[in-house]
Amino acid sequence: MKLEEYIVQDGKRLRCGYTTGSCAHGAVKACCIMLKSGEPIEYVEIPTPAGIDLKLKVENIEFKDNSVSCGIIKDAGDDPDATDGIEIRAIVESTNDGTIVLDGGFGVGRITRKGLFGEVGEAAINPVPKRIITEELERQSINGLKCTITVPEGEVIAKKTFNKYLGIEGGISIIGTKGIVYPMSESSLVATIHMEMDMLSNKGIDGIVLTPGNYGEEFLKDLDIEYPVVKVSNFIGDALTYTHYKGYRKIYLLGHIGKFAKLSIGVFNTHNRYADTRMEAFIYYLSLMGAPIELLKEIDRTISAEEASKKCIESGYGEVIKRMQEGINSRIKTYLKDEELEVHAYIYTMESGVIYW
């Protein structure tokens, strides 16, 4: 069932959609309800972290002795999304052993490299939908449930994504921190960032924290910083320029090693379609540290920044993260032509959290 929620961007009315995580949640809840009742249902309703309730049409229901399976069709709204229109399925079966098990099946990718949001070999179900689905299973369980999420077109669709470069193979990820897809043009997103800074600057605040997204905001809890947070996506350069224009004199930045490695060598739009200089950044700073050529070659063969940072730490060159943070601070002052500006960059990894020096 289409979501009738809209936003206006660049003078256009754009319809919102819902994430693969919401689809999986809906399919799981529908299976649980039908497993108890033994009767098919046409729709299932679920809440989302965004505070918007969804009514989702239940598709392709199959009953077996101790299990039920069904699907929800992904609706991305007016956002260009490779997963739009695909089916996210769940199979839920009674186990009678008192346990709750959640896993991914065909079409759901597997984590192949350390440093992502789970362990190597686990299904690529991101933390927020994983938590929500697990809680749903716990609510619905009488004496144990096993749930498997599948995506029939997942292997094909995954080839249109960057999953393999992130260390996820065999299918798509089940994602969505808010449960809702908000279509956004670049100009509109930058304008939104500017508007938020305008509102904060009117309060007379002299400092601000910039972070690309939700995970950065979560890791910020590990730092003793009192200033307000603005999420800037990949538009770090635009955000910094406007931050300086609005008169902020203390700028804190917190970001994942994958994006901030790029920033450390002067890439101020960190989207992968503009630049992918993660390994180049590692090699640059390692070279300045006098690292052996064997390590440089090993890093050059590495795919993810998480894995590269781990290799550096294991080789005794973990201080490369500190060098990157210092590089970010220096390059931002140069970028904004203001050497008196107070800049503090912090880098985190999914495995180690915020890295302090």
> Scanning the structure block, which residue is given the tokens 């804190």?
252
Under the banding of pLDDT at 50, 70 and 90, the label for residue 184 is low
Same domain for 270 and 173, yes or no, is no
Same domain for 126 and 221, yes or no, is no
Same domain for 195 and 150, yes or no, is no
pLDDT of residue 22: 97
pLDDT of residue 199: 72
Residue ending a domain, among 127, 157, 181, is 181
Same domain for 115 and 224, yes or no, is no
Contact between 69 and 116 (Cβ < 8 Å): no
Average pLDDT over residues 138-161: 94
Same domain for 53 and 137, yes or no, is yes
Give 250-270 pLDDT, tens digit per residue. Answer: 999 999 999 999 999 999 999
In a domain, residue 1? The reply is no
Q: Which two tokens stand for residue 15?
A: 């319809």
In a domain, residue 102? The reply is yes
Q: Which domain holds residue 293?
A: 186-354
| Total tally of structural domains belonging to the chain | 2
Residue ending a domain, among 161, 181, 201, is 181
Model confidence at 193: pLDDT above 90: no
Share of the chain above pLDDT 90, in %: 69
Same domain for 176 and 190, yes or no, is no
Burial class of residue 335 (count of CB atoms within 10 Å of its CB; 0-12, 13-18, 19+): middle
Q: Which two tokens stand for residue 183?
A: 């279509």
Backbone phi, psi, residue 136, to 5°:
-65, -45
- Rounded Cα gap, residues 153 and 298, in angstroms: 35
